[in-house]
């Protein structure tokens, strides 16, 4: 599969199900936390890369930022437009590829991405783009799923049932590795700090309810099931593996989704 084919499939994948609902119901606290950590202030020029339906863009606008939200999937941008209107804020929504951002060099005071840019296939290309569009001394803030956290392990269960990555692509959860992020940004940043955070997910009444929710609403899980739809044995195997994982990973109060918050200062 070529990179272009992969991106076309990714664009379609994130339009499946109801990702805006997933974002509202499982990661709603992440966007405001990242916006605060990145120091978004009134009048700051902000770019949210792979913004989805605005879970970070809208909090950045509420904090006073002049925000552009970019994403590869137009259906998510449309959902974001409606959400921004409901929140009473102005956000500019732009269809864009995280590996080829249509913005001038040094255009933004703050560049953000929550669980978005990490899913582009070529990590170094993405890192270079994030650095390019940030002004010298500007801030890059990311929230990335960690390899060992709940979501990283959830993807690990699904990977054998999904189409392979294109040649040269890297697993998204590597963005949750401090060493990997350091290598990607290199001397393009003058400061780099990491904070491991946990997003509690407590509203699912049972492991089966959680699995059913992701089967219905989360694009990657829908793709995993679509990939084995013609094989009842493999479908049953995927059912069992996801339910087993949901049961094993459940704590006393539900589930905890670990992520790595990255705050970087663009070198002058």
The domain limits of the chain are 3-200+258-266
- The domain made up of 3-200+258-266 has a fold known as Rossmann fold (3.40.50)
User: Taking a C-beta distance cutoff of 8 angstroms, is the pair 242, 126 a contact?
Assistant: no
Q: What is the C-alpha to C-alpha distance for residues 116 and 227, in angstroms, rounded to an integer?
A: 23
Q: What is the pLDDT of residue 166?
A: 82
CB atoms within 10 A of CB 42: 8
User: Taking a C-beta distance cutoff of 8 angstroms, is the pair 58, 34 a contact?
Assistant: no
pLDDT digits 0-9 by tens, 190-234: 999 999 999 999 999 999 999 999 999 999 999 999 999 999 999
Q: What is the C-alpha to C-alpha distance for residues 161 and 231, in angstroms, rounded to an integer?
A: 11
Q: Which is nearest to 263 in space by CA: 180, 139, 172, 144?
A: 139
Q: What is the C-alpha to C-alpha distance for residues 62 and 10, in angstroms, rounded to an integer?
A: 29
- List the structure tokens of 266: 């663009």
Per-residue pLDDT of the chain (268 residues; tens, 9 = 90+): 788 888 999 999 999 999 999 999 999 999 999 999 999 999 999 999 999 999 999 999 999 999 999 999 999 999 999 999 999 999 999 999 999 999 999 999 999 999 999 999 999 999 999 999 999 999 999 999 999 999 999 999 999 999 888 888 899 999 999 999 999 999 999 999 999 999 999 999 999 999 999 999 999 999 999 999 999 999 999 999 999 999 999 999 999 999 999 999 999 8
User: Taking a C-beta distance cutoff of 8 angstroms, is the pair 27, 149 a contact?
Assistant: no
Q: What is the pLDDT of residue 250?
A: 97
Q: Which is nearest to 69 in space by CA: 85, 79, 99, 80?
A: 80
Q: What is the pLDDT of residue 125?
A: 97
Q: Give the rounded distance of the alpha carbon of 187 from its chain centre.
A: 24
């Amino acid at each position: 599969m070529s990179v272009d084919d992969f991106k076309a499939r990714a664009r379609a994948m994130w339009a499946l199900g109801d990702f805006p609902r997933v974002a509202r119901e499982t990661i709603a606290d992440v966007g405001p936390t990242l916006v605060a950590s990145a120091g978004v202030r009134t009048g700051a020029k902000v770019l949210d890369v792979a913004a989805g339906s605005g879970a970070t863009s809208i909090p950045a606008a509420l904090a006073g930022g002049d925000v552009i939200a970019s994403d590869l999937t137009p259906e998510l941008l449309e959902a974001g437009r409606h959400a921004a209107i409901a929140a009473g804020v102005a956000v500019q929504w732009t269809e864009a590829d995280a590996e080829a951002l249509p913005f001038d060099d040094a255009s933004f005071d703050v560049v953000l991405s929550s669980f978005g840019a990490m899913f582009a296939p070529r990590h170094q290309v993405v890192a270079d783009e994030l650095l390019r569009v940030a002004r010298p001394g500007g801030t890059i803030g990311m929230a990335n799923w960690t390899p060992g956290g709940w979501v990283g392990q959830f993807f690990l269960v699904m990977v054998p049932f999904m189409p392979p990555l294109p040649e040269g692509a890297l697993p998204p959860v590597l963005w949750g590795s401090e060493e990997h992020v350091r290598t990607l940004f290199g001397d393009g940043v003058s400061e780099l700090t990491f904070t491991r955070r946990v997003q509690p997910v407590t509203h699912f009444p049972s492991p089966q309810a959680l699995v059913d929710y992701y089967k219905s609403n989360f694009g990657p899980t829908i793709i995993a099931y679509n990939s084995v739809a013609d094989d009842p044995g493999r479908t049953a195997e995927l059912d069992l593996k996801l339910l087993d994982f949901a049961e094993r990973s459940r704590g006393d109060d539900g589930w905890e989704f670990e992520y790595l918050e990255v705050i970087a200062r663009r070198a002058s």
